[in-house]
Amino acid sequence: MGLILPEPEPVVIDMHPDAEEAILMWFRICTQWRTTNGARVGLDYGVLMGLFSLYQVADPRGLLEDLQVMEQAALEALAVRN
């Protein structure tokens, strides 16, 4: 069609080093929601455990707890939007 699109600006995320592993894993898992009647109810922990193994997570329990905090915040934010 002859369109020339500009190069997208890179996304820069400023994060505390202690949060980096949880944030990166969140990006990997954030599409893996359990749903009921079209509503998200929580992350699919089975998929999460597989990713922990694939990425050789040193502290799975600690990372799971961090992700559960993020999961709860996401569910609360989604509830407000609906």
Which secondary-structure segment (H or E) carries 41? strand 39-43
Domain ranges of the chain: 17-81
Q: Left, alpha or beta for 38 (phi > 0: left; psi -120 to 50: alpha)? A: left
pLDDT number for residue 14: 86
Percent of the chain predicted with pLDDT > 90 = 68
Nearest to 19 by CA among 56, 54, 72, 69: 69
- Please tell me the pTM assigned to this model: 0.79
Beta bridge partners of 36: 39
CA of residue 51 relative to chain centroid, distance: 12
